[in-house]
Amino acid sequence: MATIAPPSSRVAPAVTWDVQEGVAVVVLDLTGQPVNVISRAVKDEFLACFAALADDSRVQTVAFFSGKPENFIAGADIEEFVQLESAAEAERLSAGGQEMLDRVARFSKPIAVGIHGACLGGGFEFALACHYRVATDHPKTQIGLPEVQLGILPGAGGCQRLPRLAGARAALDMILAGKSERAAKAFRLGMVDELVPQPILREVTIAAAKRMAGGWRPKRKRPGGFIGFLLDGNPLGRRIVFRTARKQVLERTGGHFPAPLAALEAVEYGLKHGIDEGLKREAQLFGQLAVTDVSRKLVQIFFATNQLKKDPGVANAPPPVRVQRLGIVGSGFMGSGIAGTAVVQAEVDVRMKDADVARVAQGILAARAILDDRLKRRRITKYEYARLVALLSGGDNYAGFGRAELTIEAVFEDLGVKQQVLREIEPVLPSDGVFASNTSTIPITRIAEAAQAPERVIGMHFFSPVAKMPLLEVIPGARTEPQTVSTAVAFGRRMGKTVIVVRDSPGFWVNRILAPYGNEIGHLLAEGASIEEIDSLAVRFGFPVGPVTLLDEVGLDVAVKVAGVMQEAYGDHIIPPSNGAGVAALVKAGRLGRKSGRGFYIYKGGKKRGVDPSVYELLGVHPNGGPRPAEILQRLVLPMVNEAARAVGEGVVHNPRDGDIGAIFGFGFPPFRGGPLRYADDLGAERIVTDLERLAERHGARFAPADLLREQAHDGTKFYA
């Protein structure tokens, strides 16, 4: 692949090309950058490159590649995007990108593009403008338009070209969710023309370019057959598609995220009025979205998560130990979830242990279910499936654990049980093996009191269900050494998790700030609020589910255990209602939440079927209207913000960034609000303190403002400078 051109070639800093047998082989490679992105400077080089190729009589066709070994083009330069100050400026940026790609689409000589690795956002929009797309079948080749995840829409023609290529349904499925697909699925959907093994990508792409130079053109059939024609191929069918898509978007987002609806409008407008008018509308909508507060918040989250990927978790930490073998003690719901996720994401040997072989067998089957799901959704091939399944094993003893660089216990949430596991296994582990506890509340230093080598004991708090929840809390104990921390952080990232390192204290970060949120449910119910109203108000605020539903999802038995720990540690401000047993009464009645089919709600066939009126009798409360909706919402959200401020003041997280990411990825704090600490900055400490003091006067000390909020109110400071 030419990165240094011979004398007959033209060279630019990022774009190089060489002419061979009538084919201009063009390569994009941003020197010194890990990935290719499209910036203003790159756009200028693109335009200069294609202008030169148009004038070069030797060039009959073009084959385009990335010079990066593992990615194609990751998208536009986000650093330039955040500098936009007005909708008009953002609209001009979008129109400029459209103009560049329009020149590519209308280029007088055929262009074939060879794609390997991430082909996202502006990178995929560039590929769509080319005349033929070849992609590798490698798992790293991901194709998509993720712009709505940043609160914007594909603004360089993606909302126009993709529907025309693959049909409205397939295009909307990708654009409105901001998701990416493996190349194999993109090929089935007609988004790429040819799927090849990586070693022959260059050869096949150049061959396609030569065929097009000879007059050949690909004959594309829209996927979906007759149904595809009915829904995608005529205005009436598309009207049904758009109506259904709009309904689904509103159900999924609650109307809090404007980007998917704007993208839907851009697609619909373009198909109705033609591509030129569609591009104009696309640029206008892009401009409007780019300067919204929602987009700014989502971009801040994007940058924060990228920064976290580079954070070793502890200052001056030595390199992490590379984990190749993972031991897991406890093969229940959490243990099997960790096992299956580790195999799928990190591809390590996993050895499970439980009290008897029957339990281990159930755990292995549960772990395999994660692989089954990946195979069913064609995320892995049957050959990859067979290879990954072979990595799972287990037994009723510690055989095999002597080779595990990392062992994670996922046993019952009880200090004595966890210490007993540590005593049993420590003599078996290698001398430098790390022991991690998947505990949600118990201080790691307490667990490590049973260790001969407490420096190699750490907490790794996964969230349920492990395969879906993106957050991992890593908790060093008082004597945990830095390399143990870096090893746990690095392995968590290999498992695909967003990792935050938090201080060792009861509840750590996520459960600490959730405690007052869940605690207030009992008070609101005691005052006559209904379960449905509490949940619906939280969802309207932006949470994915309400707090009552969240308790059912976590498990009421687990919630009772966590509540006991948190009330013991923070009883001066996490105060249960005085009306009696509360959630403990439901647990005593065998109502454990979704997993038992009954909690606050009834569950049948895996779906929530509504509140059973008898639950109010078990709780000893009667819904009669309760507090006003505005007060209910305030009493749910402000104590959480207050506890987050209190925990930041105690140094539970390294910085506000980690705290907000933990809340968003750990339990779904509304991302368009930026996290509890950014939300606090938006409200202002003075207003929050005033509201909390008023609530404290009416309802007691649990609403007393945190010292840090009082200081901010007095000094006029914020969490984020």
Pairing relationship of beta strands 601-604 and 607-611 according to DSSP bridges:
antiparallel
Nearest Cα residue to 153 out of 76, 39, 38, 255: 76
The residues pairing with 395 across neighbouring beta strands, listed in sequence order, are 353
Task: Classify residue 569 as exposed, middle or buried by CB count within 10 Å of its CB (0-12, 13-18, 19+).
Answer: middle
Dihedral (Cα; 7, 8, 11, 16), 10-degree rounding: -120
Name residue 249's amino acid: V
What lies within 8 Å, CB to CB, of 319 at 6+ separation is 483, 486
DSSP states along 556-599: HHHHHHHHHHHHHHHTTT----TTS-THHHHHHTT--BGGGTBS
Amino acid at 706: A
Count the helices and strands in the chain (H runs, E runs): 30, 20
Q: Which amino acid is at 80?
A: E
Q: Provide φ and ψ at 509, rounded to 5°.
A: -100, -60
Please tell me the distance from the alpha carbon of residue 530 to that of residue 514, in angstroms, as a whole number.
20
Q: How far is CA 711 from CA 11, 524, 684, in A?
A: 58, 30, 12
Q: Which letter, b or e, does each residue of 448-485 get, where b requires 16 or more Cβ atoms within 10 Å of its Cβ?
A: bebbebbbbbbbbbbbbebbebebbbbbbbebbbbbbb
Q: CB-based burial of residue 547 (10 Å sphere; 0-12 exposed, 13-18 middle, 19+ buried)? A: buried
- The backbone torsions φ and ψ at residue 629, rounded to the nearest 5 degrees and listed phi first, read -55, -40
Task: Report CA 556 to chain centroid distance, whole Å.
Answer: 26
Distance from C-alpha of 17 to C-alpha of 15, rounded to nearest angstrom: 7
Strands of 457-462's sheet, edge to edge? 392-395, 349-353, 325-329, 406-409, 434-437, 457-462, 471-476, 498-501
- Rounded Cα distance, 527 and 542, in Å: 24
> What distance in Å separates the CA atoms of residue 219 and residue 230, rounded to the nearest whole number?
20
473 labelled catalytic: yes
Distance of CA 462 to the CA centre of its chain: 15
Q: Which of 147, 268, 473, 527 is catalytic?
A: 473
DSSP assignment, residue 195? E
Alpha-carbon gap, residue 696 to 675, rounded angstroms: 24
Catalytic residues: 473
